[in-house]
Amino acid sequence: LSKLEDRPVDRKPLASRSLVDELESHANEVVAARGEGLALRVAIDEGEDGARADMTHIDLPLVEEVLDNLLSNACGHAKGVIEVEISVREGRLALSVADDTPEALRRGCDPFFSENKSAEHFGLGLNVSSILCGLHGGALELGNGSTGGARVTATFSTGGDGDETGEL
């Protein structure tokens, strides 16, 4: 985990529309592969003007790694539905993943925390995701969904190379 904090962030320009399309496709692939019998609902928050033509500067593999962790966690706990919301605006990308299960969120970002320890699951996904979000000028927030269940929101700065802190 300490080496993870030294990981470089390799931001590349990508149109917001392309970013959203890539992330939506990625979410569908992950849930199809790991969420047997689960439904996926994806909502796109386009902002007030509905435009997604602006450019972002994003480390797409890093963002997809975080999305993988959030979706894998949801696939392991959801009873029927996983909801993903993608928002790109005002220099920020926000990914929210919510499931329909009782939550254990207070300790969710602690390393090695898991309610279902197994040989395949070490309880590091949310901790790793939190570190990666921080490297990309964002954060990871845990809470409850509007209808219950867990809701995890990952944010990332979409500014240029010099904007590692996320302050816009």
pLDDT tens for 67-121 read 999 999 889 888 899 999 999 988 999 999 998 876 555 444 444 445 554 444 4
Token pair belonging to 90? 């005002």
* pTM beyond cutoff 0.85: no
Q: Give yes or no for residue 38 having a pLDDT over 70.
A: yes
9 falls in which pLDDT band (50, 70, 90)? very high
> Token pair for residue 80?
């029927």
- Residues contacting 90, CB < 8 A, separation 6+: 47, 168
CA 104 to chain centroid: 18
pLDDT at residue 77, rounded to an integer: 81
Q: What share of the chain is helix, strand, coil (3-state, %, to 5)?
A: 30, 30, 40
